[in-house]
Structures are given as C-alpha cells and as structure tokens.
Amino acid sequence: MSDVNKVVLAYSGGLDTSVIVRWLQDNYQCEVVTFTADIGQGEEVEPARAKAEALGVKEIYIDDLREEFVRDFVFPMFRANTIYEGEYLLGTSIARPLIAKRLIEIANETGADAISHGATGKGNDQVRFELGAYALKPGIKVIAPWREWDMTSRETLMAYCKERDIPVDFAGAKKKSPYSMDANLLHISYEGGILEDPWAEAEEDMWRWSVSPEAAPDAATYIELDFKCGDIVALDGEPMSPATVLETLNKVGGANGIGRDDIVENRYVGMKSRGCYETPGGTIMLKAHRAIESLTLDREVAHLKDELMPRYANMVYNGYWWSPERKMLQAAIDDSQRVVNGKVRLKLYKGNVIVAGRQSADSLFDESIATFEEDAGAYNQKDAEGFIKLNALRMRIAANKGRSPL
C-alpha cells in the first residue's frame, strides 16, 4: 500500500502528463490533483480541464500566472542582465521556480503528500523543480515517473494509453512536432529531432515566433522604452503591465527577425545539449537595460554587477532561485537599480537591436566634462599625468629591479 494519498501533478494535458495521471493512480493508488499554469505559452490551457476530468481528476487547478511570472521572476532576472554561457537568456530556467512555488502552495491547500512532474532524468528541469520544492517544503515527497517507469519513447507512452483507455488524440500525438518544445512569455525552445546533430542547421519552418532576418522588413522599426528602478514600465509612452510589455516586445521583435539563437549548452547534470531558442522580447530588454544602466550606474557598481552576473546566471540555470545566495545577490542588484530610470530609444532592423538614444534625470554623463570642445576648466588635463605615474609606480619599481615584462 502506497504511503502517498494525494499528489499534485504539474499537468500540461499532453501525452506525457496524461500518462502520468493514470500511472500515479495505478502505481500509488492515490488521488491526483492537476495544476496547469498559464505563463504565456501561447496555447489554450483550459482544455486541460476536460482532459483531467476524463482521467477521473476531481481537483483541477488552472492558473493565469503571466503577470506574476514576468513581474516577480523575469524582471528581477533582467535587472542582473542575466545570460548563461554568454548566449542563453534562461527562458525555460526562470519559469521553473514559479511552477515549483505553485505546486507547493497547492499541496498545502489540498493536503497533498507529494508533488509530481514530467521532467526526464536527463534534463535540468527535474533539478529545478525539486530544488525549489525542497526549499519551500523540506519534507515534501517528489515523484518523478521518468526516473521510475520503463517507458522510453512516445510510442511506448501511446501503447500505455491504448492498454488503459487513456483518452488521447493518437492522430495528433503522431503528428506532433519532431522537436521537444517549451514556451512561455519569455521564450520558446526547441530540442531533439535534427537538432541532436550539432552540425545540422535548424529548419526554417521550425521557428514559430520570428521571421528570418532576411525576410524582415527593409525599413527599421523604432521603439522607446521607459524604465523605472530597472524595470520597463512603458512602451512608446504607453504605460504597460510587465506581461503586456513582454508580449508586445515579442511581437515587434519577432516581426523584425530578432531573438533567434542556436546554442550548445552545458547542462547541470553533466552532458552537453544543443537547443534553439526564440527570445525576441528578452533580447530587446537586455539591450535596452544595459543602455540605461550605462548612463545611470556608477562605474564600479556596473563592473561589479558584470562580475557577479555569471554566478547569478548559474544559480538560475541550475535551479537555485530559492537559495539564500540568490536572494542575497538579488538584494544587492535591486539596490543598484534605484537610479536606473529613464528612456531608451531602439532601432530594430533585420535581427539587430541598435541603441539609438538614451536619456535619464539620473544620468551620470556630464557633457561639460566629456566634451572634446572647450570645457571651460571643468576637467584639468594636467591631473592625468600624476594619475598615470602613480598607477605605473609598481611596474616602474619592478622594471628597475630587472623584472622586465619582455
């Protein structure tokens, strides 16, 4: 007899998680609660309710988390200018702590003993879901079917459905994209299929959110973004909520061929993985945020942020969003953003995001000092001589001792 009476499952309504519902019922003799999150994946989530009901599920949660996702997860991450291994804008990674948080909240609300997810034993998501769950509820039991059952492919899952009369659109499952895809308001990712060969170029018809740069308009698109404390609050002068900002930037960016990336990344579990990503809005946000910071941040603060960013990116990628070290870093990053206010004008053209202007009441740019024209004594150029000699002092002493750098 299983010691699990009730389990909350992160449920998409697709083949994998539909199989998991019945597998949990059969193998753990437990009640299953399904949780489906709308984080802007671009597909209707409400049909998951009928699918869960057909599987005998009595407690069904379908939550619109789009605003919370962008406000409390995407925006804080972009305040750090976060990018993993120089390329990946962490679209999948940043969604997982929110889903883990909601799984635990529902477990508490329903008195569930366990949570479950459909992440495989080869990937990063199992780590992200479970690290988050354990941080938020240390005693929770986690059931990861892909680490327990002997099913290894879509065909074996479909056979399981037929054996147990699980209502699945078999024709639709067979026609499914050859890629493993994950989407939310920040990005859409593609893995598997021909992408498992790092030499193979991604097929043009794979991309869903963007036109190719070659097919983008011949005329540039200009946009203006208003920042307050490091977050975008308006687009072209129109105030917008966080989710609306990102959704709008995805559309305008995708229309201009912006945001495609093809990456071989290092997974936390040890293997290398090739994936393709579309992140139009995030690509624009990163460029704009760095532009407004260049105007408003102190030099050493900006440089320290850049030094800390890879550590922060690793925390997000590896699933440590709820860790004390990430929270500590976030506090420092957020403190730096108090002065990151102003406006950035961008030119979008055939896959490029070009800064066309920036302005801020908190700007540290002093034209009277930086000018190449007459500065009326604002900067004494003679001061540079002593500055240079003092900075060269240790090298001069070493050279005089015969320690030539040549």
Phi, psi of 181 (to 5 degrees): -120, 145
Asked if 25 and 32 touch (Cβ cutoff 8 Å), the reply is yes
* Active-site residue set: 16, 96, 125, 180
| DSSP code string of 60-83 | EEEEE-HHHHIIIIIHHHHHTT--
**Residue 144 CA neighbour count, 13 Å, CB half:** 16
Residue whose token pair is 């909240």: 105
Residue whose token pair is 């291994």: 85
Strands 114-116 and 6-10: parallel
How far are the Cα atoms of 216, 369, 372, 382 from residue 376, in angstroms, in the given order? 48, 9, 11, 14
Which strands, in side-by-side order, build the sheet including 352-359? 238-239, 231-235, 221-228, 342-349, 352-359
Residue whose token pair is 């995708």: 254
**Residue 206 CA neighbour count, 13 Å, CB half:** 24
